[in-house]
Amino acid sequence: MKILRVYGGRRSRGNWAMVIHFKRNLFSYFIAAALFTSVVDGQY
């Protein structure tokens, strides 16, 4: 949903800010998932 909104609002000036914010959130989620999987692999 967020990606569609970003692509739909290319003309707005705040588009790049939304893209950067979305990428940062995605990257943080990826790191959290990697840490979680590593912890689970270590426990089991």
pLDDT digits (tens, 9 = 90+) for 25-39: 899 999 999 999 988
Residue numbers of the domain that contains 9: 2-43
CA distance 43 to 35: 12
Q: Give one DSSP letter per residue of 1-43, joined into a string.
A: -HHHHHHHTTTSTTHHHHHHHHHHHHHHHHHHHHHHHHHHHHH
Q: How many domains does the chain have?
A: 1
pLDDT band at 13 (very low <50, low <70, confident <90, very high): low
Average pLDDT across the chain, whole number:
75
Model-level pTM?
0.46
